[in-house]
Chain A
Amino acid sequence: MIEFKLPSLGADMDQGTLVEWKVKPGDSVTKGNVVAVVDTSKSAIDVESWHEGKVYELITQPGETVPVGAVMALLLEAGDTPETAEAWKRARAAPAFAPTISAPVPLLPPAAPDTRERVPTAAPDARARVSPAARKRANELNVNLAAVNGSGPDGAITLEDIERVATTTMTAPVSRMSEMRKTIGAAMARSKREIPHYYLATDIPLARATEWLAARNTQHSVTERILMAALLLKAVALALKRHPGLNGFYREGRFEPISAVHIGVAISLRQGGLIAPALHDCGGKNLDELMRDLADLVRRARAFTLRSSELSDPTITVTNLGDNGTDLVHGVIYPPQVAIIGFGGVRERPWIIDGAVRAAPVVTATLAADHRVSDGHLGALFLADLSRSLQAPDKL
């Protein structure tokens, strides 16, 4: 028996609202399949399965808000039968079974259906349950139904739900914004409260990298061109491979290094707010792959179609604020990560080359790291390594 639970998709996520199921009972699911779309305060996320099995029952209804860890669906493993699933359900006390924040939904239908007649079973439909009166009222009041939690039968959105949402006067995008601001605030407050940051900075000349990139891009079509951001990410990944003390999680009083480098790329959203989903395995990808995946990640982050693993996996964060003319970033670590690397803008600055002052492209790289895990010495070695890597762009 596999319990499909609402995963934590970030340090400060404690609940999520099911937007829709991407599977129905009877469907086979393999690891990595998108099972559900869940709305968090940041974004609607495609939640993947970590297991292989067959969907037996969908417990959470679209529109329902449930806490992290709530059992949202039951999947049958090899060897399970519907009987074992039913036995499992009986063994679990109903209240603990699917704790619901928005509306209690009975585990079983209240009355046995008439077995003498074929009654259409309620198929889990993609269309949200909204009463006709609620739908009409939502139209009149311009309420976004996706942002409403249903309190009616089977989690349906009722007239009362619409009125309640409408009287809070916030329309959905505004409400998501304020929610996201709260979430970011909570995570950053926790970071500043708990993590003893230390900060380092270094200027990295990028003359070679810029020239190499320009030469490489002239030989490729526009769509195949690579941006400096991809080089920076790759260089960070390679340096982290050599300095693993900055890559991983600090949990329950100890550091867990992670061998793969999943860089959380800070992406500002057009309507405001920020999200830093993982660019998976940056060390193992060549520059072409990295560029393609980066573009895809940014596009999907802005379209709110990220996958759950992208939110839960980042092992370190890279933030790049150079586009706005900023030179220096003092990053705040996103817990439970232990470091954040910042890049300012790549600018022509006076730089001494071969004893003469020359104009050269330079970027200021910063590191904020967790003193519980590492010291400035390690951080300095890392930044020096990063700088060296970027002097040999053809090796990236």
Chain B
Amino acid sequence: MSHKTTYREALREAHRDALRADPRVFLMGEDVGKYGGSYAVSKGLLDEFGAQRIRDTPLSELAFVGAGIGAALGGLRPIVEVMTVNFSLLALDQIVNTAATLRHMSGGQFSIPLVIRMTTGAGRQLAAQHSHSFEGWYAHVPGLKVLAPATIGDARGMLAPALADPDPVVLFEHALLYNMEGELEGDWANTDIRSARVRRAGTQVSLITYGGSLWKTLDAASELAAHGVDAEVIDLRVLRPLDTETILESVRKTHRAVVIDEGWKTGSLAAEICARLAEDAFYDLDAPLARVCSEEVPIPYPKHLEDAALPQTAKIVAAARSATGK
């Protein structure tokens, strides 16, 4: 069973399912109600589910993420939308100091079944305060689960298991993916939030990525095939906890790895993956590990500079060719 849809519609349908399935589920955030969401994910949901369950909030991330934690503690299943990851920094105290720690601090008495969704990434000329990728920061924190749906299937399927999880889940939606069209196919109703996925099988180099970079990486893999490089593409999907096994299995086969991460290189998730490969796959490596990350600058506004600052297909191709010597 498959039908044509968009990433945005897939997310909206996931919300609709969740709201219908469980009366404890509600959505809140800036402009999610009357405006239909800054990225129009919740368009139409206010009419269908009413103002009690689709709640517009004041412009205070700290307050409404905190309210979400309180609601979760009180037995509800809140979905909190934060407009962009840049703004979520205002709520870091609630997310890192409270949501991620309460199970531990209470000796297991309390859990926070909260889903926080936010937009991440650059590519829409929204400049340095709306374009960053801080997935790696959140993936640093024990107590959080961090998801990065990159496909329509994951956009449709990840929300339900995230809501079912007893602990806080942060879900990143890359801004460039909302308009992506495609077929909703596969067993999305049984989506897991534990494993990475091989999106393209290959034998000579593992291209490891997540989120918005997945599609640039798949394009790069096609281009690499023309150069005689058979690349495998791994979509991490879950950034915490990392599915190290899938990564290692791939690199033990290909002996080469390039990690593509829209975060800055220094202290990045890409750095973490490279470190794990160096620790656990050292004797399987046949070429130096390589990373394609964002340039270490605030993401620029002008189109040509923004493009230059981000991982692009050509950079991925060059890194993979260098690693394979082809």
Binding site for B on A (CB under 8 A): 103, 110-111, 114, 116-117, 131-136, 151-153, 156, 158-160
Contacts and interface: CB of A to CB of B under 8 A. Distances in A.
B285 interface: yes
B285 A110 contact: no
B283 A156 contact: no
B287 interface: yes
18 contacts: A103-B325, A117-B296, A131-B286, A132-B282, A133-B283, A133-B285, A133-B286, A134-B286, A135-B283, A151-B325, A152-B286, A153-B288, A153-B323, A153-B325, A158-B287, A158-B325, A159-B255, A159-B286
Given A133-B285, A134-B286, 10 more contacts: A111-B318, A114-B295, A114-B296, A131-B255, A132-B286, A133-B284, A135-B283, A152-B287, A152-B325, A160-B286
Contacts, number: 41
Contacts of A160: 286
A158 B323 CA distance: 11
Q: Is the interface of B mostly helix, strand, loop or mixed?
A: loop
A158 B324 CA distance: 10
The 6 closest A-B pairs by CB, nearest first: A131-B286, A133-B286, A136-B283, A159-B286, A152-B325, A132-B285
Contact of B318 (A110, A131, A133, A151): A110
A156 B323 CA distance: 11
Contacts of B322: 110, 153
Contacts of A136: 283
Contacts of B318: 110-111
Pick the most buried of B284, B285, B287, B288: most chain A CB atoms within 10 A of its CB: B287
Interface string B264-285: 0000000000000000001111
A131 B285 contact: yes
Contacts of A111: 318
B289 to A, nearest CB: 11
B229 to A, nearest CB: 13
Nearest to A131: B286
A117 B287 CA distance: 23
A132 B295 CA distance: 29
Contacts of B285: 131-133
Nearest to A135: B283
Given A111-B318, A114-B296, A132 B284 contact: yes
A131 B205 CA distance: 14
Contacts of B296: 114, 116-117
Contacts of B287: 131, 152-153, 156, 158
Interface of B: 255, 282-288, 295-296, 318, 322-323, 325
A106 to B, nearest CB: 9
Given A110-B318, A153-B287, A159-B286, A133 B325 contact: no
A134 B285 CA distance: 8
Nearest to B282: A132
Contacts of A134: 286
Given A114-B296, A116-B296, A132 B283 contact: yes
A280 to B, nearest CB: 43
Contacts of A131: 255, 285-287
A131 B311 CA distance: 26
A103 B324 CA distance: 13
Contacts of A153: 287-288, 322-323, 325
Contacts of A103: 325
Contacts of A117: 296
A44 B286 CA distance: 27
Give the most central of B282, B283, B284, B325: most A CB within 10 Å.
B325
A151 B325 CA distance: 7
B321 to A, nearest CB: 8
Nearest to A104: B325
A131 B288 CA distance: 8
A136 B252 CA distance: 13
A154 to B, nearest CB: 9
A152 B288 CA distance: 10
A249 to B, nearest CB: 42
B283 A158 contact: no
A159 B284 CA distance: 9
A119 B287 CA distance: 19
Contacts of B283: 132-133, 135-136
Contacts of B282: 132
A111 B291 CA distance: 13
Contacts of B284: 132-133
Contacts of A159: 255, 286
Contacts of A158: 286-287, 325
Contacts of A116: 296
Given A110-B322, A153-B323, A133 B288 contact: no
A163 B259 CA distance: 27
Contacts of B325: 103, 151-153, 158
A110 B283 CA distance: 26
A116 B264 CA distance: 14
A158 B287 CA distance: 7
A160 B256 CA distance: 12
B275 to A, nearest CB: 15
A111 B255 CA distance: 23
Contacts of B286: 131-134, 152, 158-160
B255 A133 contact: yes
A191 to B, nearest CB: 41
Nearest to A159: B286
A119 to B, nearest CB: 11
A133 B251 CA distance: 11
Contacts of B288: 153
Contacts of A133: 255, 283-286
A131 B285 CA distance: 6
Nearest to A105: B325
A381 to B, nearest CB: 61
A114 B288 CA distance: 18
A117 B267 CA distance: 14
A265 to B, nearest CB: 43
A78 B284 CA distance: 47
A133 B295 CA distance: 30
Contacts of A132: 282-286
B230 to A, nearest CB: 13
